[in-house]
Amino acid sequence: MTRIVFSKKGYAKYISHLDLTRCMARIIARAEIPIWYTQGFNPHPYMVFSAALPIGVCGENELMDIKLVNPPQYPAMLKAMNAAAPDGISFSGIYDSDREFKYIDKALYTLKVPKDIADDFEAFTLKDKIPAVKKTKSGETEIDLKTEMSLKKVFNNDEETVFEIIAPCGNERNISPVLLTSAFTESTAKRAVFSLTRTAFLDENGNIFR
Amino acid sequence: MIKNIDRILSSVSKPSWYIGTELNAIHKSKENIYTRVAYCFPDLYDVGMSHLGMKLLYHMMNERDDLWCERVFAPNTDMEELLRKTGTPIFALESKDELKDFDFVAFTLVYELSYTGIANILDLAGIPLYAKDRGDDMPILLAGGPCMCNPEPVADFFDVIDIGEGEENLNELFDLYKECGKNRHEFLERAKNIRGIYVPNHGEKQTKVTRAIINDLPNVYYPDKLVVPFAQVVHDRISLEIMRGCIRGCRFCQAGIIYRPYRQKPVERLKNDAVKLCRNTGYDEISLLSLSTSDFQKLPELADSLKEYCIPRKISLAVPSLRIDNFSKEISDEISSIRKTGLTFAPEAGTQRLRDVINKNITDEDIERSCKIAFENGASAVKLYFMIGLPTETDEDIIGIAKTAEKVVDYFYKYATNRSRGINVTISCATFVPKPHTPFQWEKQLTLDEIQRRQELLKSSITSKRVHYKYHDADTTVLEGVFARGDRRISKLIETAWRLGCRLDAWTEHFDFAKWLKAAEECGIDFYSYTARQRSFDEELPWGFVDSGITKEFLVRECEKAYKAETTPSCAEKCAGCGVNRLCKGDVCP
């Protein structure tokens, strides 16, 4: 399998996952990548993505697997795909990998909080419990974000405070840090624009998943 | 650039409609730009981004180094609410600048029910709706599109209205703007000299405006790239326009008149355009666009040459707008060898007599013959388009629609190779709206009660379970009729209805006829005086000053032949003398 590392930033963070898959198929077509098509009544280019990014969240090392029909020319492919990509989407790596996405366990996020609410936000995160409602296909469940994710302050300056978050991001359990920022907005009624970026995936040992 | 853009985008349901960074969206640096155009489509993004005319002119205008054309769409209801709540003006997608910063705010008007979108967008931009209320510091309001063959219902709103084909005169218009050094009064006065340009609210009223017509369609500009939306839109594919105009002369059809003369593009050019468009967009479908694709003389040749490129790349070819009378085995083969699609035909009327009245020159035998080809090739879904309320229509004609559909079911069981799959026949029924510049422009339109009665009659005439009947809301048809043949009094109606909350009227979930009735009452307008009234040939019509190229004598002649159920041969067989060639250089007609 050919693994491609890409980022989704700027206005591209507002593209939904479904729209992103269509966008990728078009990039691949424009770049004339010899992709393998599924065999069936309605063939489509074979692509597998790591966990979907929520709308509004940037991604820096997102992963996508494709299958090729011809022997790969990786450096040229990467160049062609970057040339064919719309603003906000870019490709930074391409390599062979057989390690399946099901071995992804957690993800690493960077959360930038604007200065004017940074103190309030920090105080909010120090509470014993941060209840949130997680919506799934099977219904709603109440969870405590405190036990679900780890959060630490890594940096602050005159403009913003930066936190690092590690949250579950596997097939079994997937908790989006958007739940945390929404819980803050709801409980304090303070409207702010958080900047959230998923920077890496981790396996169950806490090592970077490539 | 407007403030809070992130806060707004992170709170709306379809943020990708408003980000403006789609592939092939055009971004320029403002410093080098003389003329800035905000090009608005007064309906939602997914509809506007499906419209070829807007894409075509967007890229054509942006070919100019001195001009930057950006897109604006009607905001969805949640976006509108958010803009109003936060006091944020509506913005152009590419630069995110507000509309007041532009030299031109242009609208493309493709269907009448989008007219309240003009009022809403201008209000969200803080630009006065009426031309008379705008000062020199405001952008120049420009309109174009097929609806502008009767500009009067919206003429009070606009400074400049472009009637006809914009590829022909827009560059001249922008050259003039530059020449006039942005002097509004000089520009408006001199713009009147450009063919197709109507300046409705400045100086003396023009007594005649002649439609702009492209003389050399084979060599006219066509984009080699298209903006590719992130979100799925209604027509999410490459539209390749293969010809303009139609040889048929159906008497109800406005497009058949206002896109005359019939002009085809060469196969070589089309192939080149198609390849470039595929390369530059990554789309996996090409749709051949025209009013009547099977009339394209070299269709098999075109399909062959496109297939050569498309098949190895898994790009499919869609061929809509086929006619029943020349639908051949070859065409069917061309389509199904790429991807099998359902079939759509438009008999328009249920009896031979009425088809002769409207000059839709197809027969029951044509229908049987093409169904035979389609069913033998595996089709199992057929969609039939009809109209009710055509001039001289009787109950027998309505019952004939049901009978025609049921005959198609019979043909399936007679000819199909895969009978076990069953057949679905859908009747899609629109109500006839008399349109300006057609032979039926003097005709009366059905009243609401009568539309409903005939719809019920049709419903009760269908006995086969294989036939499904879909019909359009009768209320919207009445309003469409008012706008289509409206005069200057209609601008007040549009404004009033918008004030009462009318928005996105082309959407059933938003359309509120009660509000329109209230607006009509406030304005003292009787809908039926516009729609249900038979006009005499001598009546002065609001669009009478627009010279479409087609003579009144021709329209009258066609109308009188309609009453006698006499048909007129197509332009390819015999020239009917419509008069359009007076406006063209050389021998453009077939």
| Contact across the interface for B284 and A12, Cβ inside 8 Å | no
> A127 in contact with B at a CB cutoff of 8 Å?
no
pLDDT on residue B362: 86
Q: Which amino acid is at B20?
A: G
CB B287 within 8 A of CB B318: yes
In the numeric block, which tokens belong to residue B145? 């599109």
- What is the rounded distance in angstroms from the CA atom of residue B126 to the CA atom of residue B83? 12
| Smallest CA–CA distance from B22 into chain A, residue | A86
Q: Does B339 score more than 50 pLDDT?
A: no
pLDDT on residue B586: 76
- What is the rounded distance in angstroms from the CA atom of residue A161 to the CA atom of residue A122? 9
Span B92-113, mean pLDDT? 97
Mean pLDDT lowest among A114-118, A164-168, B265-269, B544-548? A114-118
pLDDT on residue B338: 36
CA distance B277 to chain A (A): 10
Q: Best mutation site among B16, B24, B27, B309 for testing chain A: the one with the most A CBs within 10 Å?
A: B16
**Binning pLDDT at 50, 70 and 90, where does residue B540 land?**
very high
Q: Best mutation site among A8, A9, A13, A14 for testing chain B: the one with the most B CBs within 10 Å?
A: A14
> Tell me: the pLDDT tens digits for A102-121?
999 999 999 999 998 999 99
Question: Which helix or strand (DSSP H or E) is residue B184 part of?
Answer: helix B184-191
| Contact across the interface for B16 and A191, Cβ inside 8 Å | no
Residues 219-258 of B with CB under 8 A from A: 228, 230-232
Low-confidence ranges of chain A (pLDDT < 50): none
Angle between helices B267-281 and B299-310 (to 10 degrees): 30
CA distance A106 to chain B (A): 25
| Smallest CA–CA distance from A35 into chain B, residue | B313
| Contact across the interface for B20 and A11, Cβ inside 8 Å | yes
| Contact across the interface for B19 and A22, Cβ inside 8 Å | no
pLDDT on residue B381: 85
Half-sphere exposure of B440 (CA within 13 A, CB side): 27
DSSP A82-129: HHHPPTTEEEEEEEE----GGG--EEEEEEEEEHHHHHHHHHHHTSS-
For chain B, domain boundaries: 5-210
Span B204-218, mean pLDDT? 94
**Binning pLDDT at 50, 70 and 90, where does residue B330 land?**
low
Task: Give CA separation, A206 vs A102, A166, A175, A176, B446, in Å.
Answer: 14, 10, 16, 18, 72
**Binning pLDDT at 50, 70 and 90, where does residue B329 land?**
low
Helix (H, G, I), strand (E, B) or coil at B290: coil
Helix (H, G, I), strand (E, B) or coil at B172: helix
> B279 in contact with A at a CB cutoff of 8 Å?
yes
> A17 in contact with B at a CB cutoff of 8 Å?
no
CATH number of B5-210, picked from 2.40.160, 1.10.1740, 3.30.1240, 3.40.50:
3.40.50
Q: Which amino acid is at A66?
A: I
In the numeric block, which tokens belong to residue B40? 């608005």
Using CB atoms, pick whichever of B16, B21, B278 lies closest to residue A87: B21
| Contact across the interface for A86 and B22, Cβ inside 8 Å | yes
**Binning pLDDT at 50, 70 and 90, where does residue B369 land?**
confident
| Contact across the interface for A23 and B279, Cβ inside 8 Å | no
| Contact across the interface for A19 and B231, Cβ inside 8 Å | yes
Helix (H, G, I), strand (E, B) or coil at B443: coil
CB B335 within 8 A of CB B319: yes
Using CB atoms, pick whichever of A16, A27, A193 lies closest to residue B16: A16
> B26 in contact with A at a CB cutoff of 8 Å?
no
Span B504-524, mean pLDDT? 96
Span B360-378, mean pLDDT? 86
> B10 in contact with A at a CB cutoff of 8 Å?
yes
> Tell me: the pLDDT tens digits for B283-313?
999 999 999 888 898 988 998 899 899 988 9
| Contact across the interface for B7 and A193, Cβ inside 8 Å | yes
pLDDT on residue B585: 83
| Contact across the interface for A193 and B10, Cβ inside 8 Å | yes
Q: Which domains does chain A have, with CATH numbers?
A: 2-98 (3.30.70.580), 103-202 (3.30.70)
| Contact across the interface for A14 and B19, Cβ inside 8 Å | yes
Beta bridge partners of B240: B288
Helix (H, G, I), strand (E, B) or coil at B259: coil
> Tell me: the pLDDT tens digits for B476-487?
999 999 999 999
Q: Does B577 score more than 70 pLDDT?
A: yes
pLDDT on residue B380: 82
DSSP B63-93: TSTTEEEEEEEPPPHHHHHHHHHHTPPPB-T
| Contact across the interface for A14 and B279, Cβ inside 8 Å | no
| Smallest CA–CA distance from A178 into chain B, residue | B10
Looking at every residue in chain B, the average pLDDT score rounds to 93
Residue with tokens 């006499």: B566
CA distance A203 to chain B (A): 30
Q: CB burial class (10 A; 0-12, 13-18, 19+) of residue B203?
A: exposed
- What is the rounded distance in angstroms from the CA atom of residue B553 to the CA atom of residue A90? 62
Span B406-422, mean pLDDT? 89
Question: Which helix or strand (DSSP H or E) is residue A202 part of?
Answer: strand A195-202
Span B165-188, mean pLDDT? 97
CA distance B18 to chain A (A): 9
Mean pLDDT lowest among A92-106, B254-268, B372-386? B372-386
CA distance B178 to chain A (A): 32
pLDDT on residue A138: 79
pLDDT on residue B514: 97
